[in-house]
Structure 1
Amino acid sequence: MFFKQFFDKKLAQTSYMVACQQTKEAIIIDPKRVVDEYGEVAAQEGFNITQVTETHIHADFASGLRDAAGRFNATVYVSDEGGESWKYENMPEDTVYLKDGDIINVGNVELKVLHTPGHTPESISFVLTDRGGGSDEPMGIFTGDFLFVGDIGRPDLLEEAAQMEGTTEEGAAAMFDSLKTVDKYPEFMQVWPGHGAGSACGKSLGAVPLSTLGYELRNNWVFDYDDREAFIKELTSNQPEPPSYFAQMKKVNKEGLPGFKVKDVEVGTPDELPGQLFDLRSREEFRKGFKKGAINIPYNDKFLQFAGWYIDYDQPMTVIGNPEDSRVLQEDLASIGYDNLQLIVPAREAEQYYDDAYENVSAAEFISNFKDRNILDVRSASEYNNGSLENAHHLHFGQLDEKEVPFDADDTIYVHCQSGVRSAIAMSALKARGYDNVVNIKDGYAGLIRAMQ
């Protein structure tokens, strides 16, 4: 048997390839939308990708299920659990729909379906047994967003991101029951999750890429609860705010997206910049001069996690950045279902558009006289609740373009996050909304605490 784990650190998302080395057949599990890497590995190993499947309708990234089916002429296997509201749409004619207990045979490798609802109603896991290797014992389980290393999938995304009222507690109760389904499996069975640390699909995901059932039984907090109501209360509390693009992902992954293709994106400096504007320069460069209305999301490994809060899927996009990043930028945006990048303005040629700037203040300068100032804390709700300045107002940095700001547009507002990264993004969003008198506390809450000691 062949096994490979693919980790996309930009989304903290994991996909897998399993193959039978005797028959050369391979399956991809939870593929990302850009599927080139799977094809490259299969070619190197001499495998034929014959099947593709996923554990559930994802909310945090654009699925490559349909792309892989078309690219590799692979048969698609998807969940048929969860009721009529959770059926896949626009699937290939030969799609196989799975129920609890069904088996996918990949040559001499067996994947048995286990219905594990909670994160979503249709969620399934796959228990792997290497029959070709002569084993009758399960080697491991692909858990998707059911069981993580050190955590479990959050049940509130349907309500928080997709506005489906009442589904959070239903999901938490289902998750409590799903945990009982793994009791019958041996503790040596490996756990292969769909996400790692950095994902918003749970609140305390571990950074270790895999685990064992026995280790999780002893160390994962979710197995400490025998009382259903206590478990539900703990699971539904203090979950991180889900990025706004999650709602779009549930829709497109259920209905499907066009096949992704890299295109030639225009590079230039026209008089008019089409659509929404993202400035991909560093926060230090952006602060000194920028076009008002631009959202500053530096192009690094955190880009997607931050940009997903602000992308308007109904508008084209202009970016100020490096034209040489065109291909990888298109691939990154495609991974959260956005395919309408229209223009790249080279950063070295963009100064002609700049009509604004903003001021930084150090924590030490600010703390000397802050009692009567307007303070906006743009950290997560859990960070704010764990400690904040007594006169600070809270509004998550990713919600500044949609929720009411608790100050007037002509007020002087001092903005901070934990270390200065998110507050810099918040500065651009506030400027875009017409809040001109904003000042960034560049050292963040951590710096403020140090300055007060």
Structure 2
Amino acid sequence: MFFKQFYDDNLSQASYLIGCQRTGEAMIIDPIRDLTKYIEVADNEGFAITHAAETHIHADFASGIRDVANKIHANIYVSGEGEDELSYKNMPPQTHFVKHQDTIYVGNIKLEVLHTPGHTPESISLLLTDEGGGSNIPMGLFSGDFIFVGDIGRPDLLEKAVQMKGSTEIGAKQMYQSINNIKNLPDYVQIWPGHGAGSPCGKALGSIPTSTLGYEKISNWAFNATDEATFIETLISNQPEPPHHFAQMKKINQFGTKLYQPYIVSPSLNHDRIAFDLRNKEAFHGGHKQRTINIPYNKNFINQIGWYLDYDKDIDLIGDKATVEHATNTLQLIGFDSVAGYRLPKSEIQTQSICSADMTGEEEYVLDVRNDEEWNQSHLEQAVHISHGKLLNESIPFDKNDKIYVHCQSGVRSSIAVGILEYKGFTNVVNVREGYQNLSID
């Protein structure tokens, strides 16, 4: 049997290619939109991609499952579990809707479907047995967003991203049952998760790419919760706020979107569009074009820019051409195909910045852009609290000429906030570049 994990750092997402070397058939598990790397590996190994499967309707990236069906003409397998209103729609004709204990064969590789709801109602996991290798016991579990290394999938995305009231507690109860059901599998079963550290689909994901069920039973908190109430409270508390693009991902992955097609971005001739500067925060604050927003192109790019994207509006990107091209391709992985043009950086204005230690704590106009949990732990009494992801769409209660001190915890999110305030017409913004954690205030 052939096995390969593909890990995308921008999405903190894992997908997989498995192949039966006797028959030459291969399957992709949880594909992204850009199928290039799967096809290249399959061709090099002498496989034909005849199957693809998906563990659930994803909320954090645009699925490539329909692309596999329409471009490679493979059979695809998705969950037939869960409620109809939340199920897959507009699927290609070669779609197989699978349910608990159904069996899929990829040559001599057996995959047993396990319904493992909790993260989403329809979530499934795929238990692999390499019958072609002479085995009659399971080797590993493609767990999707059910079990991660050190954590499990969050149950609150339908409620927070799609506003399905009451779904968080239902999902948490389902997850508790799913964890108890999976405990019956042998400890030697490998865990092949859908995400790693950095993904917003959980709160404490490990960076190790794979695990075993036995190790998770010992080390993963979810397998050691003493009762259902404790489990639910631990699972739903302190989950990070999902970026705004998650709602769009659920929509396009449930109903479909246009097939992936890479495109070339040309120099922008229209500077009225919202523009995102891809340089690091030091370069941005040293000099940038007025009314532009700084979202550095790094591993956290998607989780940050996802707060500010309107899928009905074009954007421009600012940076060197190579970086813009990479960022454009990355945005396509979350279904955003509307980068209209690129601009080269300019140094029209500089950001006012101070060290945290320079603050007295008595400044009149302070904007705290940390999340709710950080704010609730401690904050300046006079500060106004608006988390950075909400700034673009919320009213900011200061006058445009007020001297506003903007801070987050360490200086990263406040850097983004400065650009948003400038974009909204504020003219006297000071970035507290070392953040709240370094404030020296008695």
Band the TM-score falls in, shorter-chain normalisation: over 0.9
The secondary structure found in structure 1 opposite 2:22 is coil
Partner of 2:388: 397
1:104-143 deviation line (CA, Å, top 9, x unaligned): 1011111110001111111100011111111111111111
Shift of 1:149: 0.9
Give, as a single letter, the amino acid of the residue that structure 2 aligns with 1:362. Answer: C
Describe the SS at the equivalent of 1:324.
helix
Count of residue correspondences: 442
Alignment match, 1:190: 190
Please state whether the residue corresponding to 1:147 is helix, strand or coil.
Answer: coil
- 1:149 is aligned to 149
1:411 corresponds in structure 2 to 402
Output the TM-score relative to the length of structure 1: 0.93
Taking the TM superposition and a 5 Å limit, the aligned residue runs for 1:3-402 are 3-268=3-268, 270=269, 272-273=270-271, 275-347=273-345, 350=346, 354=348, 356-366=349-359, 369-402=360-393
Root mean square deviation, CA, Å: 1.7
Q: Which residue type is aligned with residue 353 of structure 2?
A: N
TM-score normalised over the length of structure 2: 0.96
User: Deviations 1:227-247 (Å, cap 9, x if unpaired)?
Assistant: 222221221111001000000
Contact 2:28 2:53 in 1 (8 A): yes
Q: Does 1:424 align with 2:424?
A: no
Aligned counterparts of 1:406 and 1:201: Cα–Cα separation in 2: 32
Distance 1:161 1:127 in 2: 29
In structure 2, how many angstroms separate the alpha carbons of the residues matched to 1:207 and 1:394? 32
Q: Secondary structure at the match of 2:182?
A: coil
Contact 1:190/1:213 (CA < 8 Å) preserved in 2?
yes
TM-superposed CA distance for 1:430, in Å, is: 1.6
Q: Which ranges in structure 2 are unaligned for 5 or more consecutive residues?
A: none
Distance of 2:102 and 2:167 partners within structure 1? 27
Separation in 1 of the partners of 2:399 and 2:344? 35
Moved more, 82-91 or 107-116: 82-91
Q: Deviations over 1:202-225 (max 9, x none)?
A: 111111111111111111111222
Q: What's the secondary structure of 2:331's corresponding residue?
A: helix
Q: Which runs of 5+ in 1 are unaligned?
A: none
CA distance in 2, matches of 1:165, 1:240: 18
Q: Give me the whole-angstrom Cα distance separating, in 2, the residues matched to 1:301 and 1:13.
A: 12
Fraction of identical pairs, as percent:
50
SS in 2 for 1:246: helix
**Mapped partners of 2:383, 2:127: distance in 1:** 49
Taking the aligned partners of 1:158 and 1:293, their CA distance within structure 2 comes to 34
SS of the equivalent of 2:142 reads: strand
